[in-house]
Structure 1
Amino acid sequence: MKKYTACLLVLMTVLPSLAQADERAVFLKKVYLSFCMKHFDDYGALRHELIAQQLPKLPPQQAQHFLPEGGGDAWPIPYQGQFGQYVLALPEGNRLCSVLARRSDATVTRQWFADLASQAPTPLHSSKLSEKQIQTPLNGEALTESWQWATEHAPRRLLLTLTTSRESGAAIQAMVSLTLSER
């Protein structure tokens, strides 16, 4: 009986943290779909809409940590009533949208991303472009995978990219982005 009680106690302590990890990955997916996927054809309009709604934006010195060189804007996304866990970044040029998560279960995040990226809406075709392990100073070992959605002769394509880190001390455990690019 003591063995079963001990097992039950272990499960009771582990299951809530697993549920929260899944919850964070699902929230990341919702933010990505709501902003990046929904507005892929006009990130400039999305930026103007967010500014018009007067949503709190990160100051430039903080936003630069989430943007490539060249500037842009970044907004903290509240999660369970708190800021600091998710950021929406729209770099200058209006061709890239990314969502960064301080904490997101790598396995669950990779699964929903692979399911989404591998099934392009008609008439687009999906193809996996790359998958590579990288070592980063802030996030440790990370895995980046990229997919493309396009038609055979279209001048533009959508590039879906996910980078995840399993490191518990990583500054950012997941970054998912969508880029509208010319061939």
Structure 2
Amino acid sequence: MHTHFMSRLQAGLLSLLVLLPMMAQADERSDFLQKVYLSFCAKHFSDYGALRASLTEQQLPKLPPQQAQHFLQGRSGDAWPVPYKGEFGQYVLVLTEGDSFCAVMARRSDAVATRQWFRQLAMAAPAPLQARALGEEQVLTPLNGEALTQSWQWATEHAPRRLQLTLTTAKDPQAAIQAMVSLSLEDR
């Protein structure tokens, strides 16, 4: 994507950062998941390498590689625990190698509230991008059992790259990870 397009897209996403927190939130944990996703994955989508460098420079504690593998799901990369109310262990930020994928995982998050804000976000693609639902599917995960995955795409008709927004929510209230929301930059 050329620089002008990326800067317009970034400006559009920043306006979403201002608007979305005003939307009603049914669940505090879902609200926190949204804030972390917007603050890291959405805000820095055009340069996850710079985000990684910033997190490293701030000396934020990274999960050891063995623990990070649980969250990377077979990919190479890094994972950082995100504090919630002063405690670690509820949220994890994941950046994969290649700097084209960012995800936030929540141990606990109300599925209905999380799906609601995700859908509102996904449908609100900033101009000139167009939002398109890619569908949803029921998946069976080894760690969390049955889950629902919803995916959306933001792109222009002729852009060489597109953004894919994905949310997976577990049905089991005791699942190890109840929600994972990601943003990836993909070539057409």
Residue 31 of structure 2 aligns with which residue?
26
TM-score computed with the length of structure 1 as normaliser: 0.87
Q: How does 1:67-146 map to 2 (within 5 A)?
A: 67-146=72-151
Please list every run of 5 or more consecutive structure 1 residues that lacks an aligned counterpart in the other structure: 1-19
Judge which range, 128-137 or 169-178, deviates more: 128-137
In structure 2, which of residues 177, 182, 186 is the aligned counterpart of residue 172 of structure 1? 177
Distance 1:45 1:136 in 2: 32
Distance, in Å, in 1 between the alignment partners of 2:171 and 2:75 is: 29
Higher radius of gyration, 1 or 2: 1
Q: Aligned residue for 1:50?
A: 55
Shift of 1:163: 0.1
Q: Distance in 1 between matches of 2:94 and 2:63?
A: 10
Percent identity of paired positions between Structure 1 and Structure 2: 71
Q: How far apart are the structure 1 equivalents of 2:143 and 2:70?
A: 12
- State how many pairs are aligned: 164
TM-score calculated relative to the size of structure 2? 0.85
What is the DSSP-based 3-state SS (H/G/I as helix, E as strand, rest coil) of the residue aligned with 1:120? Answer: coil
Aligned-CA RMSD value: 1.2
